[in-house]
């Protein structure tokens, strides 16, 4: 537990929605800094001075910047370890947990972008995620263990994957297999996820006005 408040840079209807849901799951009293992506605020000062990549989510804590979803999730779940959303260093599930956090950024996201652009990926032997079918069937096999990514244990992983699979199925980028839609619904039904979604809807409406 920390006494120093986390500053959270966020934009509604974006990948940072999942990070917000994690903050809600953890019950964190965070300072919210909202960006309007339509107005390109992410590419302007002062935000590019915070994150030169111009992407959200980002958090600022104890004088340091944390970006990239898996890093943000790992950092927050460890910071509030007493909430039990991350297996500890000596827990046998720690490695599995890290594997699926990193799989998200290093395999799923690049595969998704190639797929959405309908472009030919590199040859499987040189492509960081191999090929879509292998990446996807590996993910589905993990989801089939259910009900959560770590089996019986709910963790920060489920906030990440539940949020990501929600928007990627919604945009028809990921096939709506029954195991995926059931998982997405299971995670979305959690009170903290619903709270984050409602807060985001308010923000999006305010930005659209």
Which CB, 16 or 155, lies closer to ligand GSH? 16
| Token representation of residue 91 | 């827990």
Binding mask 71-110 for ligand GSH (x = CB under 6 A): ----------------------------------x-----
Contact window for ligand GSH (CB under 6 A) among 62-70, 75-83, 124-132, 136-144: 62-70
3-class state of residue 93 by DSSP? coil
Binding to ligand GSH (CB under 6 A) within 27-46 occurs at 37, 42
Binding to ligand GSH (CB under 6 A) within 100-159 occurs at 105
The reply on whether position 15 binds ligand GSH by CB under 6 A is yes
61, β-bridge pairs: 64
Strand order in the sheet with 7-10: 31-34, 7-10, 58-61, 64-67
| Token representation of residue 100 | 């699926």
Query: How many angstroms separate the CA atoms of 33 and 83, rounded?
Result: 24
Q: Which of 34, 41, 61, 68 is in the footprint of ligand GSH by CB under 6 A?
A: 68
Query: How many angstroms separate the CA atoms of 41 and 174, rounded?
Result: 29
Q: Which of 12, 69, 158, 193 is in the footprint of ligand GSH by CB under 6 A?
A: 69
Cβ(10)–Cβ(56) below 8 Å: yes
Question: Where does this chain bind ligand GSH (CB under 6 A)?
Answer: 14-15, 37, 42, 54-57, 67-69, 105
């Amino acid at each position: 537990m920390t006494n120093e408040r986390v500053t959270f840079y966020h934009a509604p209807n974006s990948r940072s929605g999942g990070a917000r849901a994690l903050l809600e799951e953890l019950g964190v009293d965070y300072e919210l800094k909202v960006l309007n992506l339509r107005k390109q605020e992410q590419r302007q000062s002062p935000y590019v001075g915070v994150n030169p990549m111009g992407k959200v989510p980002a958090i600022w804590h104890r004088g340091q910047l944390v970006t990239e979803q898996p890093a943000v999730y790992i950092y927050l779940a460890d910071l509030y370890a007493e909430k039990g959303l991350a297996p500890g260093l000596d827990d046998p599930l720690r490695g599995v947990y890290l594997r699926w956090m990193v799989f998200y950024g290093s395999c799923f996201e690049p595969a998704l972008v190639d797929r959405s652009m309908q472009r030919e990926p590199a040859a499987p032997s040189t492509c960081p995620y191999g090929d879509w079918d292998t990446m996807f069937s590996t993910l589905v096999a993990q989801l089939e263990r259910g009900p959560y990514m770590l089996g019986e244990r709910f963790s920060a992983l489920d906030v990440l994957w539940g949020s990501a699979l929600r928007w990627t199925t919604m945009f028809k980028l990921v096939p709506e297999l029954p195991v995926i839609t059931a998982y997405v619904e299971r995670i979305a039904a959690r009170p903290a996820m619903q709270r984050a979604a409602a807060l985001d809807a308010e923000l999006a409406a305010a930005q659209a006005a």
